[in-house]
A and B are shown apart, each in its own frame.
Chain A
Amino acid sequence: MDFLSLFVIVPFLTVVGIVFCKDFKQVRLTAAIGMTIQLGLAVALIFMYLAERKAGNMAEMLFMADYVWFPSLNIRYAIGVDGISVAMIGLTAVVVITGILASWEVQHLSREFFISLILLATGVFGFFITIDLFSMFLFYELAVIPMYLLIGLWGTGPKEYSAMKLTLMLMGGSALLLVGIFGLYFNSNPDGGQLTFHILEISKVHIDPMAQRFFFPFTFVGFGVLGAMFPLHTWSPDGHSSAPTAVSMLHAGVLMKLGGYGCFRVAIFLMPDAAHELGWIFLILTTISVVYGAFGAIQQKDLKYINAYSSVSHCGLVLFAILMMNKTSMNGAILQMISHGLMTALFFALIGMIYGRTHTRLINEMGGLMKIIPFLGVVYVIAGLASLGLPGLSGFVAEMTIFIGSFQHTDTFHRVCTIVATSSIVITAVYILRVVGILLMGPIKNKEFENLGDAKWFERLSLGTLVVVIASIGLAPLWLSNMINDSLVPIIEKLTMNL
């Protein structure tokens, strides 16, 4: 029994447990217990990983295991983690448990709701532990499909439309991805012999540059759709605004990270020549994402739309940094994924809680909420400050690592793009302060809201956990940054090998 598989087994057992629960109280309790165990496992994994590294185990991937399950095509369930996947697993575990807590009072079809939610989480965890492209793809699909049900059944507003749009666009991405993955597979052994989906094995091979040039765009765009890359981001505002709270949290918090992680681990890592050659095209697109998303957020009136556009901007920065292809900027990209995951989960949790009270998400129908619901108000301000990159919170660490790393690029074009991207820190401040000003400050606008209750215990626990994690990464980022850095060394070596 290998340790990493527990990350798939525990959610599966939780789902089985939920099936046997009698009422919704038992369901949510089971879900919470299962995901708390999962969080404990993730923390344990971090410590185990750090201990292994400290003991001098410098293998590229740790805790590896490998089972062939479709021999004729050499499809394997191969797992293993490095510092980057460990960090992503930690992020996922935090977001999932806080998401469960934020949906503590979902009573409508609660069993099905929690089952779908945890299946989604299983897909994400599985994605991060596998190092076999085909299994990775399967886990990815496992994460996307419950999403359709979750939005379509428990969503709000034009939920069928949004769910359909989101699923179709992501499926379109998967189709491109599948082409890319098979492209890699058929080029994985140029000398003839056994073909493979195994990432580490492919990374040892120098794939024919022509094939790279052909398959790189498929893979990058395929993952890029999920990472909300301009102009394929429009599923995000609609999807998020219709999704129920926990789904928005999980989706923006971790599912969108699969895109960035995939671009990094599959597209760039396995096809470095093409990445060097074609990267500039995507660099332009992601630079546009960063600025365009921020400008798009300025005028929105719906809280979820604001956050969705803000996610386009922040996730754009992830892909932007990955394309800079140096150690510092890539480190920044991973940090940004974690930081954005936590921040956006916090935002969506808050928006869900505010919506649950006021039954509106339009900011101009609210005002002066700080006086009525101070706890939620203060946390909203903290989330906003994290989002606009206040030092001491995680966003600053990530953004600064990205900007400094990107600006070290020797090419002027890349540095100019960096300067354009830095301008987002001002635009972000504009839209964040606009929302805080209208939503929380000022006199109480709507008298009906005067008697709203502040956060309940499970809401406080959920928000508090996220705030504590955001602040602790923001205050002491060194260990995390070092953990990621160590794992980047072999990757950067591979990227610069053929230059």
Chain B
Amino acid sequence: MMDLSISIWIPLIPLFMFLLIGLFGHRFKPLVSGVMGTIGLGVVAILSYTIAYQYFFVQGKVDGVYHKIIAFNTVWLNLTDKLHIDLGVLLDPIAAMMLVVVSTVSFMVHLYSIGYMHGEKGFHRFFAFLSLFSFSMLGLVLATNIFQMYIFWELVGVSSFLLIGFYYTKPSAVAASKKAFIVTRFADLGFLIGILILSFITGTFDFITLTDTSGEAIRQGATIGFLGMSVMTWAMLLIFMGGAGKSAMFPLHIWLPDAMEGPTPVSALIHAATMVVAGVYLVARMFPVFHTSAPHALEIIAWIGGFTSLFAAVIACTQLDIKRVLAFSTLSQIGYMMLALGVSGYGGEEGLGFMASNFHLFTHAMFKALLFLGAGAVIHAVHSNVMNEMGGLRKYLPITHITFLIACLTIAGVPPFSGFWSKDEILVAAFHFNKILFAVEYAVAGLTAFYMFRLYFTVFWGKDDRHYHHTPHESPLTMTIPLMLLAVASIFAGFIPFTELVTSDGAAFEPHIDYMIAVPSVLIGIVGIIVAMVMYRKENGMPEKMANNLKYLYKWSFNKFYIDEVYMFITKKIIFNYISRPVAWFDRHIIDGTMNGIAGVTNLVSFEIRGFQSGQLQKYAFVFVTSALALVLAFIYLWTN
């Protein structure tokens, strides 16, 4: 038996790397910083695999059920008699799975960045921030209590902010980083209020106490009503709001496409594989609470997830920036995961959706990281993000081409690649919950295949004889090795027996393949691929014709349904012009005006009455005598009456 408390080093190593590279990085050669960060993450990855192995196959299972292990815990801050914030390490199936995801992708991205960021200004800063992010994300994953999660939640938010704004002299990057931070911060306000309500009701932050399905805490508050729903439903919805912000669910999704201003490895790590699934992880973590005391919240999550997946898929079909297509695809896939959680029951096969969601989270992390890193290799080669300026790249970038194709097949749900297995389970879970949601997801599967292959064909086929300024060339090994490794993971991840490892109640159940659902879902994927092939395999007039036929839909989709404009209206017009400016004016003119007014009146009065203190003796004598006379007269008058 291995001592699991060494898992505390998993977040601490990146923290140490952050401090080391951040404080002293500028004294080393740039490459040293990169290599140090990468080695650090390599160690973290090995540790994570060891811990995950120990948990899943040696120590985690008691009587056939996985249970939660507190590997380390310390009190960080005492609040009330009951409430205290702890920092620690909680191991359970989803935490162990996320450890593998985060450390794998992070390590790949570190390695890749050594090549991709080569020669960039601020190379060491980049690696310092990557380490900071890895620290925060690992701390989030291992959180023992909801407040620890909130702490690291904020930290990943700020790492994301710093990395999106990495090119800080570029105004668009600055705006994007600001937008990402403020939108997620707004969502976090919901999260915070949710935590306040939850802790008020249950008197604890601790995950084990909260999610204990036979315990006391989970049943509190379900009976107190507030505006038509139970208080618990409100609390959980607010907590979900935090998750929706980080996971960019509609209508809080607007920051994610803009976040693509960051360097591409960052998009792969933060905005595809790890941070954006934090919302899914949060809901999965709190799942027993949702299921037991806030089922309405869960249903809302299902619908939001379903809607987001459709909405984003439609937008992805028309975007021209290669990274934005991928960003909307990420939105759509996270929508899938949310939906799967929303439709899930608890325990055994009932919990199919829960399992499917985590399964998809895992496979998605691999193939989406691969897609982004592949896109990075393409951008690196042609120095552009715009699809229309690419074409025929398969000849120049053979490794990137093959790995990208694998990733596209995986996301399109073609068996036996991993995406097929996980997506299929989600469809089954949706089918048993609600037929409309199932239909939506089914359509999204077709759209996904279409837009991914639209991207694939345009970039790697399409205009074959395109002339480039510099002949594009394949990336260095530090970039292609991660591509190949992730491609292997994308192919084989589907064979991991998730029904045995990651389930809602920790107990294994038997997987079934429902051919009534699997076969049509593969078919619609293939239809999507064929349509894309016909339209984009060779340059032809079809896409344009199509766009003209679907004029309004195309225009709305291309403009992302004008959601950004709505937000701009609210923030710029309402908050800035109708709240903040009047407040500033009110403060200067009314409040301060009153103060100055008081001073002014005092001044004025003293000016008026200063004549009394003129210093002239005659005047004093005159006033004295007349006043005395007046008093005497007054007394006599009063006396006689």
A positions within 8 Å CB-CB of B: 165, 168-169, 231, 233-235, 238, 292, 295-296, 298-300, 327-328, 368, 370-371, 385, 388-392, 396-397, 400-401, 403-405, 407-408, 415, 418-419, 422-423, 425-426, 429-430, 433-434, 437, 440-444, 477-478, 481-482, 485
Contact = CB atoms under 8 A, between A and B. Distances in A.
A419 B181 CA distance: 21
A58 B216 CA distance: 37
Nearest to A419: B193
Interface stretch (B6-14, B76-84, B562-570): B76-84
Contacts of A235: 595
Interface string B559-583: 0000000000000000110011101
Contact of B80 (A390, A408, A425): A408
Given A299-B581, A419-B193, A371 B169 contact: yes
B222 interface: no
A328 B169 contact: no
B321 interface: no
Nearest to A477: B77
B83 A404 contact: yes
B169 A443 contact: yes
A437 B77 contact: no
Contacts of A442: 168-171, 174
B514 interface: no
B200 interface: yes
Interface residues of B, number: 48
Contacts of B599: 165, 168
A481 B78 contact: yes
A430 B189 CA distance: 13
A403 B196 contact: yes
Interface stretch (B149-157, B380-388, B527-535): B149-157
Q: Is the interface of B mostly helix, strand, loop or mixed?
A: helix
B76 A478 contact: yes
B192 A403 contact: yes
Given A391-B151, A408-B200, A425-B192, A441 B76 contact: no
B519 interface: no
B181 A429 contact: yes
Contact of A405 (B80, B154, B158, B592): B80
A-B residue pairs, 10 tightest by C-beta: A298-B580, A234-B592, A391-B151, A441-B174, A407-B196, A295-B583, A441-B168, A429-B185, A433-B178, A299-B580
A391 B78 contact: no
Contacts of A169: 595
B203 to A, nearest CB: 9
A478 B175 CA distance: 37
A236 B612 CA distance: 36
Contacts of B583: 292, 295-296, 299
Given A292-B583, A426-B186, A478 B192 contact: no
A295 B586 CA distance: 11
Given A391-B154, A408-B200, A442-B174, A422 B189 contact: yes
Nearest to A401: B79
A404 B145 CA distance: 15
Contacts of A408: 80, 83, 200
A391 B174 contact: no
A216 B511 CA distance: 70
B77 A481 contact: yes
A165 B595 contact: yes
A221 to B, nearest CB: 14
A482 B79 CA distance: 10
Contacts of B517: none
Contact of A426 (B158, B171, B189, B587): B189
A407 B171 contact: no
Contacts of B182: 426, 429-430, 433
A401 B75 CA distance: 14
Interface in B593-607: 594-596, 599
B550 interface: no
Nearest to B595: A234
A485 B580 CA distance: 37
Given A165-B595, A292-B583, A300-B584, A404 B185 contact: no
Nearest to A335: B77
27 contacts: A233-B591, A292-B587, A295-B584, A299-B581, A370-B168, A371-B169, A390-B154, A390-B155, A391-B151, A401-B79, A404-B79, A404-B199, A405-B79, A405-B80, A419-B196, A422-B189, A423-B189, A425-B188, A426-B182, A429-B182, A433-B178, A437-B178, A440-B168, A441-B165, A442-B169, A442-B171, A477-B77
A165 B595 CA distance: 9
Nearest to B179: A433
Contacts of B594: 231
Interface in B160-213: 165, 168-171, 174-175, 178, 181-182, 185-186, 188-189, 192-193, 196-197, 199-200
B76 to A, nearest CB: 6
A292 B152 CA distance: 29
A233 B596 CA distance: 13
Given A295-B579, A433-B182, A396 B196 contact: no
Contacts of A430: 182, 575
B559 to A, nearest CB: 25
Contacts of B200: 407-408, 415
B169 A404 contact: no
Contacts of B579: 295
Contacts of B168: 370, 440-442
A388 B599 CA distance: 36
Contact of B584 (A238, A299, A371, A407): A299
